[in-house]
A and B are shown apart, each in its own frame.
Chain A
Amino acid sequence: MSARRIFARPARLAAIAPYLWLLLFFLVPFGFVLKISLSQTAIAQPPYTPLFDLGGGWTEIRSAFAALSLDNFKLLVSDDLYVLSYVRSLYVAVASTFMLLLIGYPIAYGMARLPRRWQAVAMVLVIVPFWTSFLIRIYAWINILQHDGLLNQILLALRLVPSPVVWLSTDSAMYLGIVYSYLPFMILPLYATLARMEPAIEEAAADLGAAPWQVFWLVTFPLSLPGVAAGALLCFIPIIGEFVIPDLLAGSNALMIGQTLWLEFFTNKDWPVASATAIVLLIVLLVPLLLYERLQRRQLEEAR
């Protein structure tokens, strides 16, 4: 038996502790979300009617099953508030992922073209904001965008606008905040793919007579598609459920689904509806999540 296989057995045992942790604190909680999404709202603490009481025996369980209701889900489909916030979330996520790609690609491309030593520096510079507090970076923009903030002061001083422009509580501010916050998530996977690309391939295309834009569109861009997919998914999935950025930067007349869930939970104290909202959000995210999982696994396997 090879040393590698002997090593593998205790290595497998290492999975036990994290496995149990994830089952208990990641998988099982979804069961509770599902359970509560099917139960009735009650004015109580906790605010839902409990469903299962295994101590009550078979009849108890049967009546509990009979009490399961899809009312919360029916509400989600029939009430415009919920439907509109799902649609808005999808729209915002698609639009901002597209903007991120448009802005992130030239930056990642520029990084990949730098001399090796400078690439490492540029990479650290892109990663640092990723480590810096999310909330603080959004707050920094509130500072700049507010009514008498720096942006309006500059615009007024340059006489570009006659009076202060309203920036805060608009969709533009929200998109700005999303692009700003998620840019490193887009740049890093793009850069990883572009930096691995063999320069000889691009040179060959150029030698064979392709114009620079042809080299880019026919060679570089198609080869970077795995990075594009990784970056897009890494941004798209969390943006759909985003709460902080729309809450602080966008106006309150249209909500994203993360805000609706938050509102149902914290303000209306309607836990069953909040749970049903989360279940539907999970279903919406299932396809992109599975795609992301496959991509992630393939990349780790290639790195091996």
Chain B
Amino acid sequence: MARRRVSSFNIASLALGLAFLYLPIVILVIYSFNASRLVTVWGGWSLRWYAELFNDDAMIEAAWMSLRVAGASATIATVLGTLAAVALSRGERFRGRTLFSGMLYAPLVMPEVITGLSLLLLFVALNAERGFWTVTIAHTTLTMCFVAVVVQSRLASLDRSLEEAAMDLGCDPARAFLAVTLPLIAPAIAAGWMLAFTISLDDLVIASFTTGPGSATLPIRIYSEVRLGVKPEINAISTLIVGFIAVIIVVASLASKLSSAQGENAAPL
């Protein structure tokens, strides 16, 4: 195959695009270490705002709430999303398949205000107490489709003759799945869990609708502060979140590298 030439226009547009994506975050991180209270005046390097952050009980409580919701909803979403991916990619045709895949992928693009409002009305009708569990259920519904997309594209690229060989050698379908398929898609499942975790950690709109009084998540807390203006503490908590997510991404990309080492066309994301 002949190699395509990379023009300087290609390089320039790529470099500008990446700079555009990263510069604001880099600036935010730098300013979080600014000693001055005025966000715009540079007062030297300092960890002052991080120290203040750890005295902010409301913020810490909100962070803890967010982490618990993200952990619980990502775990349920991973189980359900993986089951859905298996059914769609291995189940051939079944009754209600179109409705199923429609419902599964719609939350991917559905405006969050609609998902949030509709779930809240359900919870009110069921008379459910709003708080940890209602937000967890809402986030599970939101993130399940992301897990399903990641796992399904891995399953699609997997050589099916491996499963068939296991069954020809006497495995029943359940055994073939557990012994052959599951280990092969495990990295994709792990990547799916981490994606679900970060999306839950990030969500403001759906959490605002479905949470109850006294149980604010981190984005809700940050949002109410941001509306009042820029504050150095917010720079600090943002930097912590960005760092935390960066760690998750490194782990997830290692997992997907593991996955692509095993199969040729491992899906991105």
**Mask of A240-284 contacts with B, CB within 8 angstroms, 1/0:** 111110001000000000100110011000010011001001100
- In the bound complex, residues from chain A placing their C-beta under 8 Å from that of B186 are none
**Mask of B256-269 contacts with A, CB within 8 angstroms, 1/0:** 00000000000011
Give the dominant DSSP class at B's interface.
helix
Contact A278 B144 (CB under 8 A): no
Contact B141 A234 (CB under 8 A): no
Given known pairs A3-B168, A124-B253, the reply for A242 and B91 (CB within 8 Å) is no
Per the bound structure, the CA–CA distance linking A14 and B173 in Å amounts to 12
The one of A123, A136, A148 that contacts B238, using a Cβ cutoff of 8 Å:
A136
The one of B109, B167, B198, B222 that contacts A135, using a Cβ cutoff of 8 Å:
B222
A211 part of interface (Cβ distance < 8 Å): no
Contact A7 B163 (CB under 8 A): yes
Contact A33 B226 (CB under 8 A): no
Query: B interface, how many residues as a size bin?
Result: 35 or more
- In the bound complex, residues from chain B placing their C-beta under 8 Å from that of A208 are none
Tally the A-B contacts, defined by beta carbons under 8 Å: 293
Per the bound structure, the CA–CA distance linking A33 and B114 in Å amounts to 9
Contact A126 B109 (CB under 8 A): no
Per the bound structure, the CA–CA distance linking A153 and B2 in Å amounts to 49
Contact A17 B21 (CB under 8 A): no
Please name 4 further chain A to chain B contacts, defined as beta carbons within 8 Å, in addition to the given A14-B83, A238-B109, A241-B113, sorted by A numbering. Answer: A22-B103, A113-B5, A139-B28, A139-B234
List the interface of chain A (C-beta within 8 A of B): 2-15, 17-19, 21-23, 25-30, 32-33, 36, 46, 103-104, 106-107, 109-111, 113-115, 122-129, 131-137, 139-144, 146, 148-150, 153, 180, 183-184, 187-188, 192, 199-200, 202-203, 233-234, 237-238, 240-244, 248, 258, 261-262, 265-266, 271, 274-275, 278, 281-282, 285, 289, 292-293, 296-297, 300, 303-304
27 contacts between A and B (CB under 8 A): A7-B167, A9-B173, A10-B174, A11-B86, A12-B94, A14-B86, A17-B80, A18-B81, A18-B87, A19-B84, A22-B103, A22-B104, A22-B144, A29-B119, A32-B118, A33-B117, A107-B14, A113-B5, A114-B14, A127-B249, A129-B21, A140-B24, A243-B113, A243-B205, A265-B209, A266-B208, A293-B102
List the interface of chain B (C-beta within 8 A of A): 1-7, 9-14, 17-18, 20-22, 24-25, 27-28, 31, 39-40, 79-81, 83-84, 86-92, 94, 96, 100-107, 109-114, 117-119, 121-122, 124-125, 137-138, 140-141, 144, 148, 152-153, 156-157, 160, 163-164, 167-168, 173-174, 176-177, 195, 198, 201-202, 204-205, 208-209, 219, 222-223, 226-227, 229-230, 234-235, 238, 241-242, 245-246, 248-249, 253, 268-269
